[in-house]
Copies of this chain bind each other. A is one copy, B any other.
Amino acid sequence: MKCRKCGGTAVINMRQHKLALCADDYLAWLPEQVQRFIEKYEMFTRDDRVLVAVSGGKDSLGLWDILHRLGYQADGLYIGLGIDGGFGYSDQSRELSERFANEHGLKLHVVEVEQTYGATIPELAVISNRGHGKPCSVCGLNKRYIMNRVAHDGGYTVLATGHNLDDEAAVLMQNTLNWAGGYLVRQAPVLPASRPGLARKVKPLCRIYEREMAAYTITRGIEYIYDECPHAVGSTTLYNKELLNQLEEKRPGAKLQFYLSFLQAKEAGLFSAKASEPDLHACDRCGQPTTAPGECSFCRLWDKVRGVKNLPDRVPASLVAPALSA
């Protein structure tokens, strides 16, 4: 297979784009694509301070690399979840994230959930008895909260996550299989900062295939953690990804078409205004926006844990350390 631009040996063939590229041309092409989508969906400009949620995986490190190369002001946030899985998943993830930051001279905020709040995510899942034995639900809740808090405390205007097309299509598939109206209406490349205290959320990789991100980070020589989170095994998301891969195999581009036709249909007004924005107010305790009456889910979760573990009642004034945010 030859590169369509220079005729050299191709490292990737993207059947859905009918495009094969060599290493150099691919490393130039992918950031151009991301730039195109940042502009198309009006995600942010070079004046914005962007916080990139970094997990040590190919998508988030690849995204950080791309944003940095494109000249954006992009700092990282690593959240330590305390997940071991028999191979030190969280430790490895942190190390790889820190190594990338150091090698590129980039600023990385680190929030360790256990040190900050008093328990690891797997402990939290057991104590809270949420998520049917899986920590994924409390993990998501904690990550969303902490990302938003750090963005707020650190004065970032935009929070960028590494969700790729496969992630977005799998979530869309799940929300469609259940016809979860509210989630469908809100799934988008950009979630505006609809309220003070809530960061604008963007997904610059939403149209990039998972394998394209893998090819990018490998070709670019970025070290990332290959393993999925050990708790993701058997998840609905992974199952939906397999289904979508079957469709893609049969008809290249099916995944992209599923996602893009969804965005187009929404743009064309398929959904009624009814199911759109939920009512938000400030949490009585931490002040973060929440749909729950009184305290937000995060505060209620940790109240429970503090009770069980006899932990002191601590709500950090800021999640951004002065030394780091300087």
Residue of B nearest to A275 (CB): B270
A310 CB within 8 Å of chain B:
no
Fill in one digit per residue for A215-239: 1 if any B CB lies within 8 Å of its CB, else 0: 0000000000000000000000001
- Expressed in whole angstroms, the Cα–Cα distance for A111 and B82 within the complex equals 70
Across-interface contacts of A247 in B (CB, < 8 A): 177, 243
- Expressed in whole angstroms, the Cα–Cα distance for A264 and B179 within the complex equals 8
- Give the number of copies in the complex: 2
Across-interface contacts of A265 in B (CB, < 8 A): 179-181
A41 CB within 8 Å of chain B:
no
Other 16 A-B pairs with CB < 8 A, given A179-B258, A179-B261:
A176-B176, A176-B258, A177-B258, A178-B257, A179-B262, A180-B261, A181-B265, A181-B268, A184-B270, A239-B250, A243-B247, A268-B275, A269-B275, A270-B275, A271-B271, A272-B273
Question: How far, in Å, is A184 (CB) from chain B's closest CB?
Answer: 7
Across-interface contacts of A261 in B (CB, < 8 A): 177-180
- Expressed in whole angstroms, the Cα–Cα distance for A128 and B35 within the complex equals 45
Q: Would you call the interface of chain A mostly helix, strand, loop, or mixed?
A: helix
Among A177, A243, A250, A261, chain B packs the most CB atoms within 10 A around the CB of A177
Across-interface contacts of A246 in B (CB, < 8 A): 243
- Expressed in whole angstroms, the Cα–Cα distance for A294 and B297 within the complex equals 59
Across-interface contacts of A177 in B (CB, < 8 A): 247, 254, 257-258, 261
Residue of B nearest to A185 (CB): B270
Within 8 A of B (CB), among A274-321: 274-275
